[in-house]
Amino acid sequence: MTSSKKPRTMAVMSPSGLFDQLFSLEAQAKWHATAEHARYVFEDFESPTARRILAETEVLITGWGCPPLTHETLGMAPHLKAVIHAGGVISDKMPPLPRGRDIKASNAGEVNGMPVAEYTVAMILLANKQAFSAARLYQEQRRFIDREQEFPTAGNYRKVIGLIGASRIGRMTAKLLQPFEFEVWLYDPYLAPEEASELGVKLVSLIELMAASDVVSIHVPVTPETTGMIGAAELAAMRAGATLINTARGEILDQDALETELISGRIHAILDVAVPDVLPAEHVLYELPNVVLTPHIAGSMGTELQRMGDHVVAELERYAAGLPFTHPEHLATAQAGEHLEPIA
């Protein structure tokens, strides 16, 4: 953007109250100093007011709960030049852009991934320390606990940590683990050896990783290829007493096989996700002493949401200054032969 005029912006997310959780008063002040902002936060594009403001919008700020930006929606936004998303990706909410339409995009996937990596590292350290088992034992017995007798294998020195997937969060986790005296193994068939070296990890097969690791942490997206990739054979390969951490998606695991292993007590699990995401109240995993369940808290929450808001405002400031986004996202364009109506 080369004009000195402030770009007009519009915020769309659901619920609308998410806006004040994302954007501190300081961030909102920076936004108003950088761009014109409608007084409203919209949850969709359906109302006459939303459509009127969309028609004048140059930069669309989207967040969780924003509905898909269809061809019809984009057609109602002839001045739209950029979308800044306070979330993982925005491209899966947008159709291929027709020829002649240039819309830049940015997302907050990097900053939203930071709390997940931090949560993972915290859980790795606590799992190796056998902190959850120690806390339960102390609560049950309420007496002196001889830690060396009760937990002779506890500790974080020279343990093997297995990471499944060199995704954005997987890479962040690997980097956060570098200061510790761990041996970090990683399974990802698409990661080049030189990239593994930069991350300080040892590339191995999935079964090798499952068999050698004291803690296994999952960091792959849900795809047809990854759904159910951790099944009975992989779980059976885990050493007795090892811990499985899942902050990705429950569908990555064969949950029936996981439940069988956990009921046996042979391994431990720290699960921030499951299938379904909220387990029924009577589900066995709530009761097992070797399972820690958290209610999908690994991602941004509370004050961490403001990190995403600060990121969005920083990207908006870069746009207004004519600079490229720090975290651009590629938007697909129509392929030759696709007959899409041009967007005005």
Q: What is the pLDDT of residues 257-275, one digit of tens each?
A: 999 999 999 999 999 999 9
Active site residues per annotation = 249, 282, 296
Per-residue pLDDT, 99? 79
Length of the chain in terms of residues written: 344
Side-chain-side CA neighbours of 284 within 13 Å: the count stands at 11
Q: Round to whole Å and give the CA distance between 66 and 105.
A: 15
Averaged pLDDT, 193-203: 96
Confidence of residue 342 (pLDDT cuts 50, 70, 90): very low
Residue 332 belongs to a domain: no
Q: What is the pLDDT of residues 78-97, one digit of tens each?
A: 999 999 999 989 998 999 99
Averaged pLDDT, 293-309: 96
Whether residues 43 and 74 fall in one domain = yes
Q: Which amino acid makes up residue 96?
A: P
318 burial (CB, 10 Å; 0-12 / 13-18 / 19+) is middle
- CA distances (Å), origin 336, targets 89, 99, 339: 25, 9, 8
Closest CA relative to residue 296, chosen from 244, 247, 262 = 247
Per-residue pLDDT, 147? 95
Confidence of residue 100 (pLDDT cuts 50, 70, 90): confident
Whether residues 101 and 152 fall in one domain = no
How many Cβ atoms from other residues are within 10 Å of residue 180's Cβ? Answer: 16
Q: What is the pLDDT of residues 55-70, one digit of tens each?
A: 999 999 999 999 999 9
Side-chain-side CA neighbours of 180 within 13 Å: the count stands at 21
pTM value? 0.90
Which two tokens mark 105?
Answer: 């995009």
Looking at residue 57, which CATH number applies to its domain?
3.40.50.720
- CA distances (Å), origin 49, targets 4, 8, 64, 161, 344: 27, 15, 21, 53, 20
Please list the residues that pair with 160 across neighbouring strands: 183
Q: What is the pLDDT of residues 152-174, one digit of tens each?
A: 999 999 999 999 999 999 999 99
Answer whether 59's CB lies under 8 Å from 84's CB: yes
Residue 56 belongs to a domain: yes
Residue 140 belongs to a domain: yes
**Domains in the chain: how many in total?**
2
* Whether residue 236 has pLDDT greater than 60: yes
Per-residue pLDDT, 336? 52
- 307: domain range? 8-108+303-320
Which two tokens mark 49?
Answer: 């007011």
Residue 251 belongs to a domain: yes
Averaged pLDDT, 137-146: 96
Residue 153 belongs to a domain: yes
Residue 249 belongs to a domain: yes
Whether residues 180 and 308 fall in one domain = no
Q: Round to whole Å and give the CA distance between 181 and 199.
A: 14
Whether residues 244 and 271 fall in one domain = yes
Per-residue pLDDT, 249? 96
Averaged pLDDT, 137-148: 96
Supply φ then ψ for residue 197, to 5 degrees: -65, -40
Per-residue pLDDT, 343? 39
How many Cβ atoms from other residues are within 10 Å of residue 279's Cβ? Answer: 17
Which residues lie below 8 Å from residue 69, measured CB to CB, with a gap of 6+? 60, 62, 83, 90, 93, 94, 95
Confidence of residue 4 (pLDDT cuts 50, 70, 90): low
Residue 227 belongs to a domain: yes
Whether residues 280 and 145 fall in one domain = yes
Per-residue pLDDT, 300? 95
Residue 54 belongs to a domain: yes
Tokens 């000195």 belong to residue = 4
* Whether residue 1 has pLDDT greater than 90: no
Answer whether 66's CB lies under 8 Å from 14's CB: yes
Q: What percent of the chain has pLDDT above 90?
A: 92
